[in-house]
Amino acid sequence: MASVLLAVFVNGKICKDPKMVSANDFFFPGLNKPGNTSNPQGSMVTLANVNQFPGLNTLGISLVRIDYAPHGLNPPHSHPRASEFLFCVEGTLFVGFVTSNPEDPNVKNKLFTKTLYPGDVFVFPQGLIHFQFNVGKTNALAFAGLSSQYPGVITIANAVFGSDPPINLDVLTKAFQVDANVIKYLQAQFK
């Protein structure tokens, strides 16, 4: 009788045959190396999720290193599949998140912010838009743990103004209640 190889597919990833697993599947080198912050945002996120670190499959956790140049920004974004806790290692970070669409139409979205110093931790709830900004004059460094092996990320400005093809101008002018030239300018920044 021919043997049948069955693969177990969990959370979008195929589990490795247990006989093929090694210590290297549970090891990730490189979070000690600073990321290149020479970009328009002045920040770099180094991922350690299930795509780089197979041993995370089914564990529901991941980690990132975030490097910030002076006045560097990890722009407003959300993680659809994870909450995040951010640990400030060095520098001074202004961080925050905003609530989204309260049930009561008389209540506005609320912004929660804090300035973090080395040793401080801040939590961003799953799915909420959040950011980090280096308000210091020196580089900053943070590590973040996420409650998913693959948290996903939606960078708000990139998604809204940098889509290909672009979102219809009438849609964005009405949504943001601004002149069409403002939308055209913003879209041009992401080409």
Residue position matching structure tokens 């002149």: 179
Distances (CA, A) of 2 to 5, 18, 20, 141: 10, 20, 21, 54
Strand partners, 45: 66
74 is in an annotated binding site: yes
Check whether 51 is labelled as a binding-site residue: no
Report whether 79 belongs to an annotated binding site: yes
77 marked ligand binding residue? yes
Q: What is the dihedral of CA 134, 137, 139, 145, to 10 degrees?
A: -30
Q: Tell me if 166 sits within 8 A of 128, measured CB to CB.
A: no
84 is in an annotated binding site: yes
The tokens of 88 are what? 């400030």
Q: Which residues are annotated as a binding site for oxalate?
A: 74, 79, 84
Binding-site residues for Mn(2+) sit at 77, 79, 84, 130
Residue list, annotated binding site: 74, 77, 79, 84, 130
